[in-house]
Structures are given as C-alpha cells and as structure tokens.
Amino acid sequence: MEAINDQINRFSHVSNFFITDVQLEFAEKLLKYSEMSKVFLTNSGTEAVEAALKAVRRIKNLEGEILSFTKSYHGRTYGALSLTDRIEYKKEFEPLLPQISKITFNDEDDLIKKVNDNTAAIFMEFVQGESGINIITDCFVDTITRLKEKYDFAIIADCIQSGIGRTGKPYAFNYFNIKPDIVLVAKSIGGGLPLGAILTRGVYDEAFSYGVHGSTFGGNPVSCTAGIVVLDEVFGKGLVNSVAELGEYFISELRELSNKFPSIINDVRGLGFMIGVETTSDCDEIVNQLRERKVLINCTNQNVIRILPPLIATKNDIDFFLYNFHEVLKSL
Ligand SMILES: Cc1ncc(COP(=O)(O)O)c(C=O)c1O
C-alpha cells in the first residue's frame, strides 16, 4: 500500500512512448527471477497469451499448428479462448482461430501422434488450475522435451496461475526438467492490481521489436510498483520457501482428512499453495458451508475443491481452514 500510494503521488500514467523507471526495475527483477531475457508488459493473463500467439506466428511459422491440452484454460479473448478446452466457454463464439488442436493431457501416445514437422508451439499449464488441479507428469514433460529436440517447436509455459511462487517454486515448470521458450505471468504479480507479462528467450526475443506490439496501459507504473514489492517479498525475502513448507503441511493434513472421510474425499493433490481436493460428488454444498464460516474456496470441474490461499497465509490460517473444513465434513 505504501509503495502504491507513493507511486500514485509521483505519477500514475505516462504515454507508452516512454519507459518509466519503475517499469525498468520491475522488468529487470522479473527477468532475474525467471532466467528469461526479454519482457513485454500487459494488463492481464489473457493479453499475455495473445502476445505469445503473435510471437509464435511471427517468429516460428505462420501456417504451423499450435497445440494445447485437453482440460486447459488460457483465458477468454479470442486467441486464448481458442487454446482453452472448455466447450461451455467457447460454444457461442465459434468459429475460433484455425490451426489449433488439443493433445490429451498426460497422454504420451496422443502427444507423439499429434506433434510433427508442422507443429509451431505447445501451450502448457504444468498444473492445470481451472479444470481441477491436474499436475503434469514427468514422463509427459520429458517426451515433450525430446520431441522439441526433433521438431523445434516453441514451448510456452502458461504460469499465469501457477507462477510467482504459488506452487512453492518460482514457476510450476521448475519442478520439471524443461526450459520453456516463453513464460506467461499475471494474476498475483501485481499484488491485486492489473498486470501481466510475456517473458521470452532465444529467437523469441526478436518477436516484439519496436512498434510491432503495443498497449496503452500495459505495464502501468502503479501496477509495476506493486509488482516490484511482490517480487521482493516472494523471491527476495523468501516467501516462496514458506509456501513450499506450509503447502506440504497443508496437503498432508488434507490427506489425513481424506483418510477419515473416504466416502466424501476421493483424492488430494497439489503443489505448494495450489491444492485440489476431489470429492465423490458435487462440491457446491461444501463451498457454501465454508463461505458461511468465512472461508472462501471454489468448486472447479463440479467435484474439485480448489484451494488457493494467499501466499502470505500463515500456519494459523491453514489450521483455521482445516478446523472449519473438518466441521463441514462431519456435518455432511
Ligand atoms: C492458466 C491461466 N491462463 C490464463 C488465464 C487468464 O488470465 P486473466 O484472467 O488475467 O485474463 C488464467 C486465469 O484464470 C489462468 O488460470
């Protein structure tokens, strides 16, 4: 709040003909912590996805096929929606972009069948958020890496939900043996203000030479100031380590509860503070009861309780959740 207020008193917007000091500081920090080399700042996640689609088309292959996964979510603007696999979000807006297909998530046979010389890019969520916290498997990632060596497509890590420490590592892909060409971030990066980014390396650094892409408010100085504080706290001061530690505690306690209530809980899965509890039937009732108890969660994919605590959550907050969740489970 202090940083934001100070920045509003300095200036809250400058024409995008100019680069501001806070944009530079934020961009340099983003690059340092992601080990990428160039950045374009956006206002949201879906805009970062659109920018990545343009980058692939410009650098890689204008005709090539772009692949994403079944159960994926990449946003609601036209290109991002074309990559997304939720039919209910898409059906009233078709036809969407051509040359986009889906690979069945974690299915190596389908992956090998779909990737070829004509593949321009694969958009990847390493932990799928919207469709119920589905974690990608090591062997699926290894096969993608192997296929990339052969076909040289772009690997785009959509870390809009799973980045900036959410999973207990800087980015969800840090759990795997892979180095994406393009990384997308948004959501928590602005500490609640609208901010996102596309980070590139290698040949993709040339995607947005001056004048090729643009945004009036992308990289707004007030949002960037918040972003600097977020990066300092999460990476500089090590909040990401507390997410890893507390996330492990949280998941193991939830597994205890699942052993106690096997007729209600099917599965507990997650990384850090990105956790899914799969229930044996619709989870709306649990969500509603928890809201009455002042605990906010949501139900994704009908039967997965998605728990995304703020990164600043303490052990006390987690215990508060566990106590209330236990009470709700007992009442069902
Ligand atoms: C993985 C992923 N990609 C993209 C988006 C779209 O981001 P935004 O809502 O900021 O446009 C989201 C939002 O939920 C997301 O979870």
Give per-residue pLDDT as tens, 242-287.
999 999 999 999 999 999 999 999 999 999 999 999 999 999 999 9
Question: Any residues with CB less than 8 A from the CB of 180 and at least 6 apart, and which?
Answer: 124, 155, 156, 157, 173
| Ligand 1 pocket, CB under 6 A | 44-46, 49, 73-75, 125, 129-130, 158, 160-161, 186
Judge whether residue 8 has pLDDT over 80.
yes
Tell me which of 68, 72, 74 to substitute to probe ligand 1's pocket, judged by most ligand atoms within 8 Å of the beta carbon: 74
Distance CA 222, CA 149 (A): 41
Span between the terminal Cα atoms of the chain, in Å: 41
* Ramachandran region, residue 71 (left: φ > 0; alpha: ψ -120 to 50; beta: rest): left
* Residue ID of nearest Cα to ligand 1 atom 2: 74
The ligand 1 atom nearest the CA atom of 162 = 1
CA 46 to centroid of ligand 1, rounded, Å: 6
The ligand 1 atom nearest the CA atom of 187 = 10
Query: pLDDT above 70 covers what percent of the chain?
Result: 100
CA 187 to centroid of ligand 1, rounded, Å: 7
The ligand 1 atom nearest the CA atom of 77 = 11
2-236 placed in CATH 3.40.640.10? yes
Give residue for tokens 């945004």. Answer: 215
The ligand 1 atom nearest the CA atom of 72 = 1
Res 48: pLDDT: 98
Backbone CA torsion sign across 58, 62, 64, 67: positive
Architecture of the CATH domain 239-331: Alpha-Beta Complex (3.90)
* Residue ID of nearest Cα to ligand 1 atom 10: 45
Distance CA 53, CA 202 (A): 16
pLDDT in tens, 289-316: 999 999 999 999 899 999 999 999 999 9
CA 236 to centroid of ligand 1, rounded, Å: 25
Tokens of 324: 């209330």
Question: Any residues with CB less than 8 A from the CB of 240 and at least 6 apart, and which?
Answer: 165, 168, 169, 170, 234, 311
Q: How many CB atoms lie within 10 A of CB 116?
A: 13
Query: pLDDT above 90 covers what percent of the chain?
Result: 97
* Residue ID of nearest Cα to ligand 1 atom 3: 74
- Closest listed residue to residue 65, CA positions, set 116, 110, 111: 116
Tell me which of 46, 86, 185 to substitute to probe ligand 1's pocket, judged by most ligand atoms within 8 Å of the beta carbon: 46
E strand segments, the chain = 38-42, 65-69, 100-103, 119-124, 127-128, 134-135, 154-158, 182-185, 196-200, 265-271, 274-279, 298-300, 304-307
Question: Domain residue spans in the chain?
Answer: 2-236, 239-331
The ligand 1 atom nearest the CA atom of 49 = 4
CA 157 to centroid of ligand 1, rounded, Å: 12
pLDDT in tens, 28-68: 999 999 999 999 999 999 999 999 999 999 998 778 999 99
Q: Answer whether 0.85 is exceeded by the pTM.
A: yes
- Closest listed residue to residue 274, CA positions, set 303, 304, 295: 304
